[in-house]
Amino acid sequence: MRTVAENYRLSPVSDTALQAELTKLAISLRDAFGVAFSLWHRETGELLYVSLQQPGSNDPIRGELVRAIVGNEPQFLADEDSVAVLAVPLQTPCGVPVAATAVFALRQVDFSENLHAASEVLGLSHDRAASWINRQIIWPANALIRLAASVQSQSLALAEVSRLQNEVEKLSTSLASTYEEICLLHGVTQNLRISSDEYKLCGLVIDWLLDCVPAEWAAIQLLPVVEAGQNTYKARTAPQLIASSHCPLSSDEFSKLVEYLQLEPSAGPVVVNRGVTGEANWPFANIHELIVVPMAEGDRALGWLAVFNHVESLEFGTVEASLLSSVGAMLGIHSSNRDLYREQSEFLATVVRALTSAIDAKDPYTCGHSDRVARISVRLAKELGCDPETLHTLYMSGLLHDIGKIGIDDAVLRKPGMLTDEEFEHIKQHPELGYRILADIKQLSDVLPAVLHHHEQWDGRGYPFKLASEQIPLIARIVAVADAFDAMSSDRPYRKGMPEEKVHDVFRRGAGKQWDPAVIEAFFTAREDIRAICSSERANLSLDVEQWT
């Protein structure tokens, strides 16, 4: 018995996909009829699939007859009494219109008969034609047509199933890709927090992009937002490149790429594929395909997002460019918001410095007191394990804790001798005055508890509200110890500063009465550092505590 490959010979004009479909179609016809069919292109009459089992199977006349078929019903191309050529119009799953043809014997014949017409159809001599006919299964003509119609219906149904399967696969692939893109965009939005690490976010975006986009490398270049020396808070003063491993460009080379492509922040995504990079003057030998999108807010460029080299050496298209454009827009807005927040913080720093200068101008004898209280407070808070945000709040609180003294009468504030009871009651108003001065500055709301309550006492005998123990906010308890230490150890108009041992003795006796015992314990643990703070000249420290702690 011959194999399928031996029974059929494929036309060299067929491509691989069409060959596979024609093979399946020919096998299904053979299984249904028990004979091999040839397959012709209905529109051109071209022979696509040749049967080697039947005589006359590649007769060009059959191709011409196939082109003349009217309608889509199974029919006989030739009916010569003893034999008939059956044609079954079909369509492959990929949409090629074909007609399957085969010769069937309609009755047994006698060698003495006139078989001229049958011999013509078969392309055989009289005796060979008679011998071939008598070896075949005899088919009634109407049975052939009915079976052909049934096979045709089944083939059309299978073709439709195959088409739908292809559509489902395409839809599934599209949905999977869309899901990955949605996950990427969701991941970006979930990490767009002003306080989040911008470089870490960019690293995550690069990893996510390489999961969604068929690129070898990805990179983000963040542009400087301020010139060196013009910032209080940490900010970029030079371009920074965050890239996937083995990215072929340095930050300087990335800048040259942007300049070479003449990119503008207001432009959309720029896609470069092999046709362009094949130019003789293309200066980036390792880059064959790329997409670059701006990270911008309006006309201001805050960075660039790029992917390089398609993993299958294909071209990047609109789908990838659109995804990168969305991510770039989100990162651009985020960077702009971060920089706006930094600018607001810079403005607030200016306000704080102005208020601190006002306190020093009000009472020149205590110049530097607020700065020392601020630094001592930060050191105590570190000893107590406070987080960076609390350290920042405490530094600001220390600088501003005495801002209410701006409203105290100069004669009382600068009096060289002991205060009268009336004068002391007047000066005790400075915490509430300070609170009222700062209350309308939303950005300073975190320091208000320290300003208002830094003269409360652990035993409830302080002012202005006689709060006790943990009713007193922690930052106020910390500033209270720092304030008391600097006040006792510094020279004042009415007395010299206390010796260190006497200050320590006051603290030991006052722990659990005037001051929080935990903060006093932290003081003694950190006293060497606190001694260094007090002995050094006032440093022009940044308000960004993380830069100097």
Give the helix/strand (H/E) hosting 314. none
Residues 103 and 92: their CA atoms lie apart, in Å, by: 22
Q: How far is CA 234 from CA 194, 226, 336, 365, in A?
A: 13, 10, 15, 33
CATH superfamily of 363-547: Hypothetical protein af1432 (1.10.3210.10)
Out of 1.10.260.40, 3.30.450.40, 3.20.20.140, 3.65.10.10, which CATH number does the structure's domain 191-339 have?
Answer: 3.30.450.40
**Cβ pair 32, 74 in contact under 8 A:** no
Give yes or no for a contact between 305 and 327, defined as CB atoms under 8 angstroms apart: yes
- Delimiting residues of CATH 3.30.450.40 domain(s) in the chain: 191-339
Q: What does the block give as tokens for 326?
A: 């969305």
Q: Which two tokens stand for residue 204?
A: 């995550």
Q: Identify the bridge partners of residue 297 per DSSP, sorted by sequence position.
A: 300
User: How are strands ordered across the β-sheet holding 290-297?
Assistant: 240-243, 215-222, 300-310, 290-297, 270-272
β-pairing, 270-272 vs 290-297, is antiparallel
C-alpha to C-alpha distances, 85 to 90, 102, 118, nearest whole angstrom: 16, 6, 10
Q: What is the pLDDT of residue 11?
A: 43
549 residues of the chain, pLDDT tens digit each: 233 333 444 444 447 888 888 988 899 999 999 999 999 999 999 999 988 788 988 899 999 999 989 889 999 999 888 999 999 999 887 888 999 999 999 999 999 999 999 999 999 999 999 999 999 999 999 999 999 999 999 888 877 787 777 777 776 666 655 666 666 666 667 766 655 678 888 888 898 889 888 999 999 999 987 776 666 666 777 899 999 998 989 999 999 999 999 998 887 899 998 755 456 678 888 899 999 999 988 888 899 999 999 999 889 988 888 889 888 888 888 888 888 887 887 788 888 888 888 887 877 666 788 889 999 999 999 999 999 899 999 999 999 999 999 998 888 887 877 888 898 899 999 999 999 999 998 889 999 999 999 999 999 999 999 999 999 999 999 999 999 999 898 866 666 778 899 999 999 999 999 999 999 999 999 999 998 888 776 555 556 666 556
Q: Is 95 left (phi over 0), alpha (psi -120 to 50) or beta?
A: left
Q: Are 303 and 333 in contact (CB under 8 A)?
A: no
Q: Is 285 exposed, middle or buried (0-12, 13-18, 19+ CB in 10 A)?
A: exposed
Report how far residue 300's alpha carbon sits from residue 335's, in angstroms, rounded to the nearest whole number: 11
Q: Which residues of 26-56 are buried (b: 16+ CB within 10 A; e: fewer)?
A: bebbbebbebbbbbbbbeebbbbbbbeebbb
Residue (of 447, 469, 355, 430) closest to 394 by Cα position: 447
Is the distance from CB of 101 to CB of 85 less than 8 angstroms? Answer: yes
Place of tokens 């400075």: 430
Residues of the chain with CATH 1.10.3210.10: 363-547
CA atoms lying within 13 Å on the CB side of residue 228:
2
144/333 Cα distance (integer angstroms): 72
End-to-end CA separation in angstroms for the chain: 89
Cα 378 versus chain centre, distance = 38
Residue whose tokens read 């690129």: 215
Residues with Cβ within 8 Å of 404's Cβ and at least 6 positions away in sequence, in order, are 429, 430, 431, 432, 433, 434, 435, 436, 437, 451
Q: What share of the chain is helix, strand, coil (3-state, %, to 5)?
A: 55, 15, 35
Cα separation, 371 vs 356, in Å, equals: 8
The SS3 of residue 538 is coil
Q: Report the C-alpha dihedral over residues 113, 119, 120, 121, rounded to 10 degrees.
A: 110
pTM: 0.56
Query: Please, how many CA atoms are within 13 Å of residue 391, restricted to the half-sphere of its CB?
Result: 19
Distance from chain centroid for Cα 409 = 59
- Side chain identity at 395, as an amino acid letter? Y
Q: Tell which phi-psi region holds residue 292, choosing left (phi > 0), alpha (psi between -120 and 50) or beta.
A: beta
Q: Which residue is associated with the tokens 């219906």?
A: 153
Q: Which residues contact 203 (CB under 8 A, 6 or more apart)?
A: 242
Assigned token pair, 140: 């009634």
Cis peptide preceding 464, ω within 30 of 0: yes
CB 428 within 8 A of CB 453: no
